[in-house]
């Protein structure tokens, strides 16, 4: 899973199907011909009279493949699949909806709940029946929604495969002049990288904001993530659906003895804050996770107080070119 800014699929900012509708929270339950659920390693099949053996097999294989990639035994995985006997002969099934709760990956990626739907999957039915293996013949596209608690969001931004954006190169020379605060930034290359922190994440439904922290240039910064709800916010985020505001955690107040020097530090703070605001906003709006042939592209967000604790809902566009390899950890 790699965070990237390239876009292998068309953005869907104006597509209402990828927008978050609060009326649909919590996740809706769609009807289907076959539903397979794995709860604490127990497989439960709920099939109606229209179901058949191939569709049940596909649903069960999908659940088992996902369950094997999760660390927690408490994770719940279910797959709703609709299939027509005539189209299944050609490998076409759908829509397919995968749902889950309390997911935790081997590398610490967690979520309260997830629901992903693709309109159609085209499978190699020969491989499905003979090898019991899901092989796509054409990419499948759809949408997903993920619910993250404050702890989940901290795990998300500090995941080993998430690479925060680098500050602009021109900042290195500008901050080098502020030796009195940054301790000669060019001599401390580890300090010039932006590193998100797992601790102290807060999700506030009343303001619709997610607050998290990071370090850059040897200084701690606060980041406020929120949905770009109006025209001005969308302009500031270059048309993206979210905006981020970065500020230094501990501001510097000029003293009478070092007024001019400290004022220069404040000016550099403002320069860095503006740069971090721009780069992190761009990073989140253009974020794409590549998971061994599966692409998850950020589209929208909202904050909700529903459930046992507040959570941030992420709306994603998905494109599956192939299913992740069995030994892949994420």
Report pLDDT digits (tens) over 137-164. Answer: 999 999 999 999 999 999 999 998 888 9
C-alpha closest to that of 26 among 128, 117, 101, 83: 101
Residue 205: per-residue pLDDT: 97
Contact 245, 225 (CB under 8 A): no
Q: How far does Cα 179 stand from its chain's mean position?
A: 37
Distance CA 180, CA 192 (A): 16
Contact 195, 167 (CB under 8 A): no
- Residue in the structure block whose two tokens are 């606060």: 222
Paired residues of 39 in beta bridges: 42, 76
Contact 306, 26 (CB under 8 A): yes
Torsional class of 287: left (φ above 0), alpha (ψ -120 to 50), beta (otherwise): beta
Is 0.75 topped by the overall pTM? yes
Mean pLDDT over the full length of the chain: 80
Residue 187: per-residue pLDDT: 46
Joined together, the tokens standing for residue 141 give 């596209």
Over residues 159-186, mean pLDDT: 64
pLDDT digits (tens, 9 = 90+) for 115-132: 999 999 999 999 998 999
Joined together, the tokens standing for residue 297 give 């592209």
- pLDDT of 8 above 80: no
C-alpha closest to that of 69 among 292, 327, 294, 318: 327
pLDDT digits (tens, 9 = 90+) for 23-69: 454 443 433 357 777 775 666 667 654 546 688 888 888 888 888 88
What proportions of the chain, in percent to the nearest 5, are helix, strand and coil? 30, 35, 35
Q: Where are the domains of the chain?
A: 2-155+287-320, 162-285
C-alpha closest to that of 108 among 76, 40, 154: 154
Residue 173: per-residue pLDDT: 55
C-alpha closest to that of 146 among 324, 25, 239: 25
Distance CA 221, CA 208 (A): 20
The one-character DSSP state at 321 is S
Residue 52: per-residue pLDDT: 61
pLDDT digits (tens, 9 = 90+) for 183-240: 444 444 556 789 999 999 999 999 999 999 999 888 899 999 999 876 666 656 666 8
- Residue in the structure block whose two tokens are 């102290």: 200
């Amino acid at each position: 899973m790699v965070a990237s800014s390239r876009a292998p699929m068309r953005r869907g900012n104006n597509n209402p199907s990828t927008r978050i509708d609060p009326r649909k929270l919590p996740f809706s339950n769609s009807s289907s011909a076959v539903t397979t659920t794995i709860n604490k390693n127990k497989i439960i099949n709920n099939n109606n009279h229209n179901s058949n053996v191939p569709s049940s097999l596909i649903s069960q294989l999908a659940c088992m493949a996902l369950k094997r990639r999760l660390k927690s035994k408490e994770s719940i995985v279910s797959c709703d699949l609709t299939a027509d006997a005539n189209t299944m002969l050609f490998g076409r099934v759908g829509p397919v909806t995968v749902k889950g709760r309390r997911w935790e990956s081997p590398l610490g990626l967690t979520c309260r709940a997830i629901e992903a739907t693709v309109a159609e999957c085209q499978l190699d039915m020969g491989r499905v029946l003979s090898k019991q293996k899901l092989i796509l013949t054409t990419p499948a596209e759809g949408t997903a929604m993920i619910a993250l608690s404050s702890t989940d969001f901290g795990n998300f931004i500090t995941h080993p495969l998430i690479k925060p954006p680098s500050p602009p190169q021109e900042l290195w020379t500008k901050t080098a002049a502020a030796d009195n605060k940054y301790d000669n930034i060019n001599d401390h290359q580890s300090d010039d990288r932006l590193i998100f922190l797992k601790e102290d994440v807060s999700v506030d439904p009343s303001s619709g904001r997610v607050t998290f922290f990071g370090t850059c240039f040897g200084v701690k910064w606060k980041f406020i993530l929120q949905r770009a709800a109006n025209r001005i916010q969308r302009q500031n985020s270059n048309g993206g659906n979210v905006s981020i505001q970065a500020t230094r955690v501990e501001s510097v107040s000029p003293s009478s003895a070092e007024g001019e020097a400290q004022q220069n530090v404040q000016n550099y703070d403002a320069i860095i804050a503006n740069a971090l605001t721009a780069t992190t906003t761009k990073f989140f709006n253009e974020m794409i996770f590549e998971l061994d042939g599966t692409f998850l592209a950020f589209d929208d967000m909202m904050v909700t107080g529903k459930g046992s604790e507040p959570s941030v809902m992420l709306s994603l566009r998905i494109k599956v070119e192939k299913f992740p390899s069995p030994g892949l950890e994420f």
